[in-house]
Amino acid sequence: MIIGALGMLGHDLQKVFPGAELFDVVGDNLLDITDENMVMETVEAVQPDVVINAAAYTDVDGCEDNAGLSLKVNGEALANIAKACHKMGAKLVHYSTDYIFDGKKQEYVESDIPNPINAYGVSKLLGEKNIQDNMDDYCIIRTSWLFGKNGKNFIETMLALSEKMDTVNVVNDQFGKPTYAADLARKTKELIDLDPGIYHITNEGVCSWYEFASAAIPNTVPCSSEEFIRKAKRPKYSILVNTKTNPMRHWKDALTDYLKEKKT
Q: Catalytic residue numbers?
A: 120
Give dist(CA 194, CA 188) in Å, integer.
Answer: 10
With beta carbons less than 8 A apart as the criterion, state whether 52 and 90 touch.
no
Task: Kindly give the pairing relationship between strand 175-176 and strand 207-208.
Answer: antiparallel
Three-state helix/strand/coil letters over 48-81: CCEEEECCCCCCHHHHHHCHHHHHHHHHHHHHHH
Give dist(CA 118, CA 233) in Å, integer.
Answer: 6
With beta carbons less than 8 A apart as the criterion, state whether 174 and 234 touch.
yes
Total Cβ atoms within 10 A of residue 139: 23
Kind plus residue range of the DSSP H or E element containing 184:
helix 181-191
What residues contact residue 263 under an 8 Å CB cut-off, 6+ apart? Answer: none
- Tell which residue, 216, 203, 211, 181, has the closest CA to residue 250: 203
Give dist(CA 54, CA 14) in Å, integer.
Answer: 11
What's the number of CA atoms in the CB half-sphere (13 Å) around residue 25? 15
